[in-house]
């Protein structure tokens, strides 16, 4: 009976160790996914900033065009 108990205990700890290892592997995978998500978020943020900069440049060009039209209309009249 003692040997059976010892075997059961060792089997139980072995299962626990393998489960712990599996859990650690899952944690590592989750951490990797989180890092990838953070990288993607940063890329999206950079793209948004670039788009905002392009919009600002476009607005500046539109303002310049409007000023040139006003000047042109002034000299035509």
Q: Compute, in degrees rounded to 10, the torsion defined by CA atoms 42, 48, 49, 51.
A: 150
Give the ranges where 1-77 is alpha helix by DSSP (H): 2-76
Q: List, for residues 6-43, the tens digit of each pLDDT value.
A: 666 666 666 677 878 888 899 999 999 999 999 999 99
The tokens describing 38, both together, are 């953070």
Helix (H), strand (E) at residue 1 = none
The tokens describing 11, both together, are 């089997």
Count of all residues that appear for the chain in the document: 77
What pLDDT sits at residue 3?
72
Q: Is the pTM of this model over 0.75?
A: no
Q: List, for residues 40-56, the tens digit of each pLDDT value.
A: 999 999 999 999 999 99
């Amino acid at each position: 009976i003692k040997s059976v108990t010892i075997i059961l205990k060792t089997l139980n700890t072995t299962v626990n160790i393998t489960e712990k290892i599996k859990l650690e592997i899952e944690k590592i995978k989750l951490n990797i996914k989180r890092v990838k998500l953070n990288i993607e978020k940063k890329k999206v943020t950079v793209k948004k900033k670039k788009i905002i900069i392009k919009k600002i440049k476009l607005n500046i060009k539109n303002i310049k065009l409007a000023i040139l039209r006003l000047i042109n209309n002034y000299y035509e009249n």
